[in-house]
Each structure stands twice: as C-alpha cells, then as structure tokens.
Amino acid sequence: MPSTYIKKNDVPVTTGQSRSNKDKKRPASSNGYALSTQQLHQLLSGDQQNTSHDPFEQAVHKQQQLLVICNLLDCQNSIHPRLSQLLNTDDGAQWLDQKISEFKSLCPAEILHKISHASNEQCAEIKFCSVINQNFFSQISEHLYTPLIILSKLQTSELSDDERQDWYDWCLGFNDKLAAIEKQMTDGKEFFSLKTFDKIRLMAKDKTIQQQIGSMKNLFQSSPLPDHDVEFS
C-alpha cells in the first residue's frame, strides 16, 4: 500500500489533504467501461517511464496514470464481492487462518519447526508447507481491501506527483496480488488434506510424537475441508 497515507480514529485520511469538499469528484474513466489494468498499462505505457521534462509529456503521463487508477475504481462493484468472498466464506481467509492456528497449537514443536522451514529435506514430499507461515485475512485486508477503500475516498485529481505514482503502481499490481493470494489459499487447503498428516507422521521417530500426529489427523478428519476432496487411510 502506498506509504503516504495514515488512519486516524479508524477513518482513512491522507496527510496534507482535505476531504471536506464533497463537490469535487475523481476523474471519470474516459472509456466508459473497465479494461483490465494490465491492458490499460500496455495500451498507454509506451515510453512513459522515461517521460521527458516537457510540460505536455508530463500532462499526458499524468492523465495516463489517472486513467489506470480510475479504471480500477470503476471495477469496485465486482472487486468488493470477490474480496468479501475471500475473507468471509466457509472456506475463506478467516476459516483457513483458524485451521493454521489450530495446527500450530497442536503440532509437536520439533515437527512444526521442520514444516515451518520448508527447505528441510524431510518436507520435500509435503506440498505447500509455507501456508503455516501465512495470515490470509491480514494479507487481504492490509494489501488489497483497506487500500482500495482509502483510494475510493481520495480526490485523485489532487494527488501529488509522488502520491499519484504510488497509487498508479499499486493499481497495476492489484490483479496480480489478488491472484497470488487466491492461489496461496487454494494451496493452503491442499496442505490440510488429511493425507498430508500421514506424510507428517513419517517425519517423527518417537512413537509418542507419531501418536500426537495421529490424534491431530483424527481431529482434522472430524471437521473436513468444505467441498474439498480428501483421502483417508
């Protein structure tokens, strides 16, 4: 998220900028419908990263940036339901974070340490160990949802050059960030497939630890993944 913004009393505000003038509106998208941000970037970019100091070129570059920003804002009606679904559905971020927390609280310390460091050779056959180190609700909220709310409240035509560049870069990366988090969440559900516990159990030499892993498997089996294909042994 661009670093030039702060929150005060849980209400997004910007430094050095007033939101009191409600009559000012963000520039409307000139195309009347939303293209993907990457399509707009490819269409408009040219050599804009090396824009000359010519005032006309600077003005064109500013309008290109604003168009990309406003295009993302025009897509909010489809973006917000997608983010809400990722956060709040039965197998969404809150649910997955809870599963991660339960796993970490129950897993024997030496096994958890090995899994948390996925480069360990013993973890080679266990897919997506990195899910243990994730907090998906925080990722979605901090990197996508909250910045989008803040951006929607800004007077984009009044942004400084640096602020506008920061938001332009954020908008260009939005779809990639969202797709990456969705992929990580899918991977996370696969990690909690019950057959994973059989592979984890093989990592333990001590019979007591093996029994603990077996108990964990039984516990997770009693609350299977929603709509997820798992195998029991």
pLDDT tens-place string over residues 104-143? 999 999 889 888 876 556 666 788 888 899 999 999 999 9
Position with higher pLDDT, 144 vs 43: 144
| Distance separating alpha carbons of residues 113 and 91, to the nearest angstrom | 26
Please tell me the distance from the alpha carbon of residue 41 to that of residue 46, in angstroms, as a whole number.
Answer: 9
Say yes or no to pLDDT of 39 above 90: no
3-state SS class at 14: strand
How does residue 204 score in pLDDT terms, banded at 50, 70 and 90? Answer: confident
| Confidence grade of residue 52 (pLDDT, cut at 50, 70, 90) | low
DSSP assignment string, 86-98: HHHSTTSHHHHHH
Number of domains in the chain: 1
Q: What is the largest CA-CA distance in the chain?
A: 74
Is the residue at 25 inside a domain?
no
pLDDT digits (tens, 9 = 90+) for 6-27: 333 443 333 344 444 444 444 4
Q: What is the mean pLDDT of residues 150-160?
A: 93
136 in a domain, yes or no?
yes
Q: Is there a domain that residue 22 lies in?
A: no
Query: Which residue in this structure is represented by tokens 């958890």?
Result: 112
Residue 94 belongs to domain spanning: 33-44+53-221
Is 19 within a domain?
Answer: no
Task: Classify residue 16: in a domain, yes or no.
Answer: no
In the prediction, which pLDDT does 149 show? 95
β-pairing, 5-8 vs 11-14, is antiparallel
Average pLDDT of the chain? 78
Residue 228 inside a domain? The answer is: no
Higher pLDDT, 14 or 156: 156
Average pLDDT estimate for 150-168: 94
pTM: predicted TM-score of the whole model, two decimal places: 0.68
Q: Would you say residue 115 lies in a domain?
A: yes
The verdict on residue 231 lying in a domain is no
